[in-house]
Each structure stands twice: as structure tokens, then as C-alpha cells.
Amino acid sequence: VLRLVPHAGNPLGIADFAAFDAVVARAFGQRRKQLGTSLRPLLDEAAIRACGIDPALRPERLPPGGFAALANHLAPGGVLAGS
């Protein structure tokens, strides 16, 4: 028997769940693409590096916290705020 219990809070510190959803969907939307290529419409390689992530990394190798960091870069107050 497997029992799943949701977290009480937000353990990844996601500021904007819509941005998180957009980053994850874009990252996994194309097969065998590197993050720098698949996320290009949202973040350039410099922004990905600013999150401490190698743009040459494939999305399946990035831990959930990495996706949260990328999404938070897009969230209000992030690099695209006000655009």
C-alpha cells in the first residue's frame, strides 16, 4: 500500500505556479533538447546560468528545485517583470 501525503507548504519556494508550469511544459515539450534550446522563448542562456543551471543540461537531469529557480526568475520581481 502506498500513501501519498501532500506537503503542507511550498517546499520548493515557487513564487508563481503559472510560471513553474510554463517552464516545465516548455522544457519537456520537445524530445532530446537541452534546456538552453527548449527554454529559449522564456529565458536566454545567461538567465539560465544566472539560476546556477547549465543550459546544456537536459530537463530530465534537472531536479525540481532547478525548475523552481527558473520559474522564480520569470515570476513577478524576476527578470521579466513588467515586460
16-47: pLDDT as tens digits: 999 999 999 999 998 889 999 999 999 999 99
Lowest mean pLDDT among 14-28, 46-60, 65-79: 65-79
Q: How distant is the alpha carbon of residue 45 from its chain centre? A: 13
| Mean per-residue pLDDT, 68-78 | 84
Global pTM reads 0.84
| CA atoms of 44 and 11, how far apart (whole Å) | 26
